[in-house]
Chain A
């Protein structure tokens, strides 16, 4: 069990953690939610909000009471949120894959080093192999693997949103089912 001293320390530390303090830091933090907008609630978007209501009506069924409708709305909200996250991830992957000259950061750095070495030489001497390496970019399955590896951090962040939405939806559905069961019983 956590001791009283630890609890006091945790509370004091939590009070000290109040986010960025400088104006620049605060301005940057204020834009966090706008990067991909996934942390904004779906109801803050009028289009999505309407979709939530439509889906909620469908889930609740005809003649549902206010409580059922509210539970159905929670399911719908989580489902639309999940769809939004999955769509954002898909869009991000598609956009990145469509970049013709996409390459991993590690490869770009390697190319920069080679280019640097070439430019130092006098006269310029580039072998066919070097030229091939410098002008090559991953294609096909290699490109997808490179994107997955190069954008792992962003994809992981998006995956966290998906996990949360899935969890919210699971519990919302369970609550909805439990209420239906109680009413039927």
Chain B
């Protein structure tokens, strides 16, 4: 029973980790999600241990929810249990924070490398961003052309976008009239398209994911290649964050073990009390002579 309690709490805690990670990475959460229990009086009492220590930008409501769920799972019997629950919540929050930070740091460089790769691919394959360039150019012209010509921005963009010698000449002329360079505009457009593609890829938009995978396969690279390139520059930070997460995890587990130990003690005390009550209820009846005869 004591061990099972601990595993239950760890299980609850792990499922919370998944949900929190899903929340942070904005994945959809399945319909089977359990509604968060309301904050009980006991949870409110936990405020005697001080306000939650959250950094700027951290979600206080999510922290309260974590605390409430832990309270509901452990069902504290006294203030010491509550102290441990407060600890588990704070440490679990820290574990999540460090994991999230590590993931973000790694992801940041990988996505930057992906963006650079996509810019290269777009440069060598204009067809990939022809439509985007037309839109980009139309907006640029609308914002920069004199008011009386702004209405013709769409038409001009359509004429300049095809990437033929004639169209390029016209594009150069139009951009020159508003003080812009064709190559800079093309570079910016490619960068904007690459950024858009990366964002869609992160969000898991099917078209973007398929295109990125195809481009990666064609170039003979994978996301792992980018990770391998980015990793050496971040290794120190990642190692440090890993250590912090490990310390928080071991302290969280120690708090869970203490809850478990106290439950065992409580269980033993209760068993002994029950035994004493039962012993008091019964009297030992000495066998009488008649009984002894019957028994013989």
**Residues A173 and B258 in contact in the complex (CB < 8 Å), given A166-B251, A181-B269:** yes
Contact of A148 among B104, B241, B258 (CB under 8 A): B241
Query: With a CB–CB cut-off of 8 A, which chain A residues contact B50?
Result: 83, 87
A118: shortest Cβ distance to chain B, in Å? 25
Interface residues of A in 146-174 (CB under 8 A from B): 146, 148-149, 152, 159, 166, 169-170, 173
**Residues A142 and B53 in contact in the complex (CB < 8 Å), given A59-B79, A75-B80:** no
Contact of B80 among A87, A144, A173 (CB under 8 A): A173
Tell me if A170 and B269 are in contact (CB < 8 A): no
Query: With a CB–CB cut-off of 8 A, which chain A residues contact B244?
Result: 148
Contact of A58 among B48, B55, B241, B265 (CB under 8 A): B48
> Chain A interface residue count: which class?
20 to 34
Tell me if B101 and A144 are in contact (CB < 8 A): yes
**Residues A94 and B108 in contact in the complex (CB < 8 Å), given A59-B80, A148-B240, A149-B236:** no
Query: With a CB–CB cut-off of 8 A, which chain A residues contact B258?
Result: 170, 173
Query: With a CB–CB cut-off of 8 A, which chain A residues contact B254?
Result: 166, 170
A177 at the interface (CB under 8 A from B): yes
CA distance A149 to B105 in the complex (A): 13
Contact of B273 among A90, A146, A159, A184 (CB under 8 A): A184
CA distance A169 to B49 in the complex (A): 14
B235: shortest Cβ distance to chain A, in Å? 12
Tell me if A97 and B272 are in contact (CB < 8 A): no
B92: shortest Cβ distance to chain A, in Å? 14
A93 at the interface (CB under 8 A from B): yes
Query: With a CB–CB cut-off of 8 A, which chain B residues contact A75?
Result: 80
CA distance A156 to B108 in the complex (A): 27
Contact of B240 among A142, A152, A169, A181 (CB under 8 A): A152
A117: shortest Cβ distance to chain B, in Å? 23
B83 at the interface (CB under 8 A from A): yes
Tell me if B56 and A149 are in contact (CB < 8 A): no
Query: With a CB–CB cut-off of 8 A, which chain A residues contact B265?
Result: 177, 181
Secondary structure of the B contact surface, majority rule: helix
A145 at the interface (CB under 8 A from B): yes
**In chain A, what residue has the closest Cβ to B244?**
A148
A185 at the interface (CB under 8 A from B): yes
Query: With a CB–CB cut-off of 8 A, which chain B residues contact A184?
Result: 269, 272-273
Tell me if A141 and B90 are in contact (CB < 8 A): no
B237 at the interface (CB under 8 A from A): yes
Tell me if A94 and B105 are in contact (CB < 8 A): no
Contact of A145 among B53, B78, B83, B101 (CB under 8 A): B101
Contact of A79 among B49, B53, B105, B262 (CB under 8 A): B49
Tell me if A145 and B237 are in contact (CB < 8 A): yes
B170: shortest Cβ distance to chain A, in Å? 30
CA distance A58 to B53 in the complex (A): 23
A159: shortest Cβ distance to chain B, in Å? 7
**In chain A, what residue has the closest Cβ to B107?**
A141
Q: What are 18 A-B pairs with beta-carbon distances under 8 A?
A: A54-B48, A55-B48, A59-B79, A87-B53, A93-B55, A98-B56, A141-B108, A142-B108, A145-B237, A145-B240, A148-B237, A149-B240, A166-B251, A170-B258, A177-B80, A177-B262, A181-B265, A184-B273
Beyond the given pairs A90-B55, A94-B56, 11 more chain A to chain B contacts, judged by CB atoms under 8 angstroms and listed by A's residue number, are A55-B48, A55-B79, A79-B49, A79-B83, A93-B55, A145-B105, A146-B237, A148-B244, A169-B83, A177-B262, A184-B269
* Chain B residues with a Cβ under 8 A of chain A: 48-50, 53, 55-56, 78-80, 83, 90, 101, 104-105, 108, 236-237, 240-241, 244, 247, 251, 254, 258, 262, 265, 268-269, 272-273
